[in-house]
Chain A
Amino acid sequence: TQLLEQSPQFLSIQEGENLTVYCNSSSVFSSLQWYRQEPGEGPVLLVTVVTGGEVKKLKRLTFQFGDARKDSSLHITAAQPGDTGLYLCAGTPAQGGSEKLVFGKGTKLTVNP
């Protein structure tokens, strides 16, 4: 079973702080996505990374794909209350040729004003 482990499971911080959340696996992924889900809504795609070592930035969010394509991280600079939500990583296993995504269970982030 190809699993994606996300850490921490919960994170509560004050507005203005920086944070990093992690997505790890023992398996290689050909691509990996990050989604943000607000309460009562569906996940929204933030970014896709496909190359080992790739770094992508989306305003205050920085996403990195590990060199071996087994892990990824999401760093948020100067967090704001609007960043509150469930952050999910999801990946396509390199072996299998499937269109199915493997999802992590998410990091629930709360940014307090």
Chain B
Amino acid sequence: DVKVTQSSRYLVKRTGEKVFLECVQDMDHENMFWYRQDPGLGLRLIYFSYDVKMKEKGDIPEGYSVSREKKERFSLILESASTNQTSMYLCASSLYYNEQFFGPGTRLTVL
């Protein structure tokens, strides 16, 4: 079974802090994704990566950056957290037909 793990289930940070969200997958998938999920807005793609050291902007990249130094690990960075970045963050990986396998999510609260 594919396993995608995220570093924290719950995280509370203060405005202006730098925040790192880590995601690791164990199935050698090429593609990895970061989404945020908000009530009424659904899942929105922040960034994705096709390969190591490659990244592409999704639909809402502003205020975020990513890092993929190893194939299995994809990190999301909030350079200076703001209250409007309070959300559920979901990491996913995929291999075929865009069948994405999601991690359990990190619920981030920015105070």
Residue pair B90, A100 in contact (C-beta under 8 Å): no
Please judge, given known A-B contacts A99-B50, A103-B42, A104-B42, whether A42 and B97 are in contact too, CB under 8 Å.
no
Residue pair A33, B98 in contact (C-beta under 8 Å): yes
Contacts of B50 on A, CB cut-off 8 Å? 99
Contacts of B101 on A, CB cut-off 8 Å? 45
- What is the bound-complex CA distance between A88 and B107, given in angstroms? 19
Per DSSP, chain B at the interface is strand
Residue of A nearest to B9 (CB): A40
Q: Say how far B30's CB is from chain A's closest CB, in angstroms.
A: 9
- Mask for B29-41, Cβ within 8 A of A = 1, else 0? 0010000000011
- Mask for A56-100, Cβ within 8 A of B = 1, else 0? 000000000000000000000000000000001010100000011
Residue of B nearest to A105 (CB): B42
Instruction: Please tell me the size bucket of the interface on A.
Output: 20 to 34
Residue of B nearest to A1 (CB): B59
Contacts of A90 on B, CB cut-off 8 Å? 98, 100
List 17 interface pairs A-B (beta carbons < 8 Å), by A numbering: A31-B97, A33-B99, A42-B4, A43-B90, A45-B99, A45-B100, A48-B99, A50-B97, A88-B42, A99-B31, A99-B50, A99-B94, A100-B58, A100-B98, A103-B42, A105-B40, A105-B42
